[in-house]
Structure 1
Amino acid sequence: MEKVDALATLGQDELLKPARVKAALAANDRLKLYLSVLQAAGERADKADAPPLDLSCELAAAGVNAPWLANLPAAAYREGRTLHIPELARLAGLLREDLHTMARPLEGDADFDTRLAHWTGWVDGLAPNELSPEQLHALVSGKRGKNDSVHLLIMDLHKALNRMAARLSSENIDGAHVWQLDEADRPRVAAFMRGVNATRALKLDHPGLDTAATRDGVRLLLQNDIGTNDAHVLVIQVEDLHVSLTYSDLHRRRFDFFRTLLEAVGAEWTEPRARVTAGLNAGDAYYVGVATFACADEELLGAVLEGIGERIVFLIDWNRARKRLELFVGRPAALEVLTEAARRRIGHMSWLTAGGEKLVFGAMEALGPDYFHLGDRLDDVMGAERAVEFLLDAFALATKAMQQHQPAALIADDTRLLLARYMSRHDEFDLLAEHAAYCHALAEGLRDALAHGHERDREAARSFAERAKDWERRADQLVMDARARAEARPRWTGFARLVEGADDVADALEEAAFLLCLIAAGHHHGWRGEVHQSMRLLADAVLGAVQDHVKALAIARSFGEGSCAEDHEEFVAALWRVLNAERQSDILLREVRRALAEHVSDAATLQLSTDFAQALEAATDALLATGYGLRRLAFSRAGAGE
């Protein structure tokens, strides 16, 4: 006599409930498998050329060893509207049996008793090998409306069983409802719950993360309640030192997101398969995949379970957060924000709860039309990289504030200040400074090229010319960015003109790099001695002028009410050094021409060398003009006039 039967004869029905619930939940897995088989049979009959559905993982997970069941969809066909399914009578018998098993713990519930009697009788009345479209719909439909279905009965029984399981659990391990565990299971459940509880607070008051655990033969089973939709499921099986996680999700992008998170703890995933089940996800596909973890020892197994547990919270309301983020950045950047927020353990729920997109729109509006116009996205104004950084800081700000129970109005104010700080770091002088950095790289590269004799090294000169061209292109892009911003924001007009002038510096220096490449290709005769020395002095003067330009920009960006007389004096001094460098370059250019006339007789070398020196000197002319424009702009910003 089985232990369950012995307990029944003693009238100890309460002791039977955990075992019956466990059997009912196993029947639920099998029933969902049967419905998937029927659904697949209908789809296969409609599309005979479709690839056969591989149900091997589902069969194994449900503990069903029935090759005939796996092969059933391939044998289905239609004749008119009728779907012919060999072995349907056999499948119907399994449906009826597992419906009774699943409902047994809930005996006495009048509604379930009535629905069970109706549907088991209905299944008994099916023809042996055929279904009408209406009968297939009555079996697999999960859509709620006027009519009930077998699938709806299974869904409702499952929810009632989960509630009963929570009440019946023989003990609670750190928040997990557990029953019939072996002693070795308890530290494993505790490890999983350490992870869940480490990040649980990030979900705030949102439902979810309830965990149930039990033993099924040689396997420990863990199930976590992610959400309310039946197509969003996470089940973990632990056998010896092997962990298997089955995950299904309505959204492919969220599936890929979770896959990425679990790969950090060693997950190896099967390729997710798209499924379509009537009544789930509005008839659209959902995705199912299995992750496996091979653990060398018990310590590593505990770390894997903990790692899985702490990442589940980031699935809650993930898709809603993604959609909100795409109002401000492109889809790849939105996914980057969510992934990095999970990695940093700040998540997205606090930001959503505190207002989400309203926080950012409010901050953009508060800065006004000088920074943002109606319809602007953050990445259009700030650039994608800076926008991602801002959103992550906004997530962190909201998370900290919600944990400290700060009011939503204060979080909105802090978000406005945060955006203001980002925009102050991303003002017009940022663009000018970035352009100046490319000019500095060009001037320094030319100085170093001459110091290392690249005029005689064809390969080194060619390599530097390629880098110089790339820097010049990037500088050109900054000019185009400034022009585009000036079209939308009048306050950018003066800066756009200034960076246009500064671009003449980059153009002249890139031209010099190109000419040096030509000189190195065999036109460097006579460069040794005085010619080379005078060229180096000219390059040194150009580099010094660019360095003073960079310094003047750094001082000018701080001008305002907080600037002092010393700042103004140092700014003027830097600009005077640029002026002196331009005058010195004029003199040095003449020295180069004299040296070339004395030491170079080859016509090509003479022309290329002269052009090279003139390009260097032209850079200082452009720097001087830029310096005058910077002086006017900076003093107007400081309120000092000219």
Structure 2
Amino acid sequence: MKAQILDAIGEHGLQPVTAVNAGLAANDRIKYVFSLLQMALAHAGHPEQPAAAMKQDRIACGIDDPALDSVVAEARMIGKLCRVPGAARIMARIAEEIRLMAAPFLAADNRKLAERLDSLLAALPEAKDDLLDPETASAMMQAGPGHADSLHRLVMDLHKQLNARQATLAEETIDGAATYNLADADRPMVAGFMAGVNRTARLKFDHPGLATTATRTAERLVIQNDIGTTDAHVVVIHVRDLCVSVTYTDIHPERLAFFQDMLTPRGVAWETQRTAVLSAGTPFFLATGRFQAIDADACRAYLDFLGSRLVFLIDWNRARKQLRQFLRGPDRLALLAWAAESDIGHRGFLELGGAKLVNQAIEAAAGSSMHFGDRLCDVLGGEETLSFLRVVLQTATEGLLAGASQALINDRVRVALAAHFSNEERRLLRIAADHAGLVFELASLVRDGIQVEPDGAGKRVKRARRFEHDADRLVIETLNAVRRRPDFSVFLTLLQDADDAADELEEAAFLLDLDLLQGKPLQDLQALADLVAAASSEWIKALGHAAQIGLAASRAETEDFLTAIDRVTALEHQADDAERALTASAVRHAKDFRQLHLFTTIGARFEAAADALKRVSLMLRDHVLEDVIDA
């Protein structure tokens, strides 16, 4: 319980208010449980009727137990008894919640209340094997005139007393904070903290939490916020002489680290964290951070910032788990940090189903790109998935705040995912274009080096080797991408074949370095090299136009693409003729056998490069016409 946490960290001054707040929260939960039981008993008597859905009621009162959502639908009569799934646990919850409501008054040694409570709890149905006597269960929840005393009547009486006690304890309310025993200088500080809380509180949507109390004990202002509904989740703030001390407790060490990271930009100095245990045996983690303000304005600004961050702790661990099937651990933390920094949060995402929201978009948009067991980041890549999920969180939050229907928000998420899947094709086309640029560099390097003095030949070979190495790296990058997205395997085949052109041209550069070629065959070799360079230039154009067709298949763009493809094919035919002309010229005019061998071998390399470019251009043409334009 929150009161136990305050006791564990030595905050006795806030315990009366905290106990009352805990009792009021328990009242909301016990009313939900009573309604759940009444619906279950009614449905068991008429199972042919639709079962009432109470999930939103459960969430609204702060009970994190999804198993309760199916209780009404599964309730059935077995003879004279009613089987209610989890009935034993429900009875135990009723006892626990009503004790919480009574705790502020039992602490004052109220024997009459203690006897009444013990008597009514002793009469709780046993619920053995989850079976309930409908009459006994109904009597427990009766509270009208003419009925005997019941647990429901006690709940109503305690609720009135809790409201009265709360009014007595809270001397005033400052922007939603219940306060008492404040000094004049405390009020601006409490108002500063509440300004931050209220600015972002809407991002919790229907989730309970963020109740704040404040008081002055000794020579310091004490502000406490319950954050959410988890017992061990509390933040206590001390303000004394412009020094703000923040004590934070949590059952999740990862969320504690997240909270500390959120405050890091403000220069908070953290003490070493420690652990403690509640009376029920639940361990929790505790850390204290200190911030020294330079003046009152800086102190209020820090309290404002601190208050604005608390909403991002609600259901944080649940959101982290929901994101597990889409992102790796560090990326999940990065996404949640971004959502907090951007004042977007993750509660909207959870309100709309969390992982279910994304999985529905995947089912609609991914097609054959994903298979059972695939994780989104392994298909799209970490950065692309992180970018998409930022859109999901932002779309969910902004859509809910604007009152958009869930169907509209789902469609927006689906469209965003479809764009990211199509982004992969454009990314692979960009890789192919980068590879084509390297092929062009190789073709130009060899073309320009044919009739150049051999002094710089060694440098040209080194450059050619570097270009070819970079081209290989792009092939490997495509291979890794296609492993994630087998539906784009055409790009791996395309780049592997295009890399044959790079290999042939790098080999040609090496052969040119072996001897100074002379004579008439040199002119024919130059003509062949010019054709290959021209073909590599057209190949770059074809890839550029193909990328634009992926965005919008305009007639002009498609025409330019097909023209470039046709030019590559025509240049390859001309290269065939030029290579034969070179062979004939070399046979007639080469000065020796070594030059004959070099002319014909280099010519064959050029012709093979041109052939590879023709092959990949036709491959790209088929992909664009069949898979892009016709898709």
Indicate whether the TM-score tops 0.5: yes
Residue type of the partner of 1:482? V
Cα 1:315–1:500 shift into 2, 3 Å: same
Residue type of the partner of 2:231? D
Residue type of the partner of 1:296? I
Distance (Å, rounded) in 2 between the aligned partners of 1:527 and 1:280: 88
Residue type of the partner of 2:228? G
> Could you tell me which residue of structure 2 aligns to residue 58 of structure 1?
none
> Could you tell me which residue of structure 2 aligns to residue 439 of structure 1?
435
Contact 1:177 1:211 in 2 (8 A): yes
Q: Does 1:636 align with 2:623?
A: no
Within 5 Å, which residues of 2 pair with 1:582-601? 582=572
Q: Does 1:367 align with 2:368?
A: no
Contact 1:251 1:287 in 2 (8 A): yes
Contact 1:231 1:280 in 2 (8 A): no
Contact 1:224 1:235 in 2 (8 A): yes
Distance (Å, rounded) in 1 between the aligned partners of 2:363 and 2:417: 11
Residue type of the partner of 1:627? S
> Could you tell me which residue of structure 2 aligns to residue 394 of structure 1?
392
The two structures, once aligned, show a CA RMSD in angstroms of: 4.8
Cα 1:415–1:246 shift into 2, 3 Å: same
SS in structure 2 of the partner of residue 221 of structure 1? strand
> Could you tell me which residue of structure 2 aligns to residue 252 of structure 1?
253
Q: Which of 278, 285, 291 is equivalent to 1:287?
A: 285
Contact 1:508 1:618 in 2 (8 A): yes
Residue type of the partner of 2:472? E
1:368, distance to aligned residue in structure 2 (A) = 6.7
Within 5 Å, which residues of 2 pair with 1:469-488? 469=469, 472-479=472-479, 481-482=481-482, 485-486=485-486
Contact 2:439 2:501 in 1 (8 A): no
Contact 1:269 1:289 in 2 (8 A): yes
Residue type of the partner of 1:440? A
1:501, distance to aligned residue in structure 2 (A) = 3.2
SS in structure 1 of the partner of residue 266 of structure 2? coil
Contact 1:455 1:524 in 2 (8 A): no
Distance (Å, rounded) in 2 between the aligned partners of 1:485 and 1:394: 22
- Of residues 228-237 and 473-482 in structure 1, the stretch that sits farther from structure 2 once superposed is 473-482
Contact 2:13 2:217 in 1 (8 A): no
1:354, distance to aligned residue in structure 2 (A) = 1.5
SS in structure 1 of the partner of residue 359 of structure 2? helix
Distance (Å, rounded) in 2 between the aligned partners of 1:346 and 1:577: 52
Q: Does 1:383 align with 2:373?
A: no
> Could you tell me which residue of structure 1 aligns to residue 237 of structure 2?
236
Contact 2:568 2:617 in 1 (8 A): yes
> Could you tell me which residue of structure 1 aligns to residue 611 of structure 2?
621
Contact 2:494 2:620 in 1 (8 A): no
Residue type of the partner of 2:200? T
> Could you tell me which residue of structure 2 aligns to residue 352 of structure 1?
350
Distance (Å, rounded) in 1 between the aligned partners of 2:206 and 2:630: 55
**1:357-390 deviation per Cα after TM superposition (whole angstroms, max 9, x unaligned):** 2222222223374344333332233222222222
**1:266-308 deviation per Cα after TM superposition (whole angstroms, max 9, x unaligned):** 2232343344555244xxx432222222333333322222221
Distance (Å, rounded) in 2 between the aligned partners of 1:463 and 1:112: 91
> Could you tell me which residue of structure 2 aligns to residue 33 of structure 1?
none
Cα 1:178–1:568 shift into 2, 3 Å: same
Contact 2:17 2:169 in 1 (8 A): no
Distance (Å, rounded) in 2 between the aligned partners of 1:510 and 1:111: 94
Distance (Å, rounded) in 1 between the aligned partners of 2:107 and 2:429: 73
Cα 1:169–1:103 shift into 2, 3 Å: closer
Distance (Å, rounded) in 2 between the aligned partners of 1:300 and 1:467: 57
> Could you tell me which residue of structure 1 aligns to residue 265 of structure 2?
264
Cα 1:351–1:526 shift into 2, 3 Å: same
Residue type of the partner of 1:306? D
Distance (Å, rounded) in 1 between the aligned partners of 2:294 and 2:460: 52
1:316, distance to aligned residue in structure 2 (A) = 0.3
Within 5 Å, which residues of 2 pair with 1:458-607? 469=469, 472-479=472-479, 481-482=481-482, 485-486=485-486, 492=487, 496-497=489-490, 499-509=492-502, 540-541=533-534, 543-557=536-550, 563=553, 565-582=555-572
The TM-score with structure 2 as length reference comes to 0.63
Q: Which runs of 5+ in 1 are unaligned?
A: 1-20, 30-101, 116-159, 487-491
Cα 1:497–1:350 shift into 2, 3 Å: closer
Residue type of the partner of 2:410? A
Residue type of the partner of 2:489? A
1:600, distance to aligned residue in structure 2 (A) = 13
1:498, distance to aligned residue in structure 2 (A) = 5.2
Cα 1:163–1:258 shift into 2, 3 Å: farther
Distance (Å, rounded) in 1 between the aligned partners of 2:340 and 2:179: 28
Q: Which of 310, 313, 330 is equivalent to 1:312?
A: 310
**1:556-589 deviation per Cα after TM superposition (whole angstroms, max 9, x unaligned):** 4357xxx454344222111123234545666888
> Could you tell me which residue of structure 1 aligns to residue 87 of structure 2?
none
Contact 1:545 1:620 in 2 (8 A): no
> Could you tell me which residue of structure 1 aligns to residue 157 of structure 2?
none
SS in structure 1 of the partner of residue 434 of structure 2? helix
Contact 2:444 2:533 in 1 (8 A): no
Cα 1:408–1:461 shift into 2, 3 Å: same
SS in structure 2 of the partner of residue 370 of structure 1? helix
Distance (Å, rounded) in 1 between the aligned partners of 2:443 and 2:294: 58
The TM-score with structure 1 as length reference comes to 0.62
> Could you tell me which residue of structure 1 aligns to residue 322 of structure 2?
324
Residue type of the partner of 1:214? T
1:500, distance to aligned residue in structure 2 (A) = 0.7
Residue type of the partner of 1:327? Q
> Could you tell me which residue of structure 2 aligns to residue 300 of structure 1?
298
Distance (Å, rounded) in 2 between the aligned partners of 1:585 and 1:443: 16
Distance (Å, rounded) in 1 between the aligned partners of 2:627 and 2:562: 15
1:340, distance to aligned residue in structure 2 (A) = 1.4
1:444, distance to aligned residue in structure 2 (A) = 5.8
1:243, distance to aligned residue in structure 2 (A) = 1.9
Distance (Å, rounded) in 1 between the aligned partners of 2:202 and 2:16: 34
Contact 2:432 2:543 in 1 (8 A): yes
Contact 1:166 1:177 in 2 (8 A): no
**1:99-123 deviation per Cα after TM superposition (whole angstroms, max 9, x unaligned):** xxx98995364478899xxxxxxxx
Contact 1:178 1:212 in 2 (8 A): yes
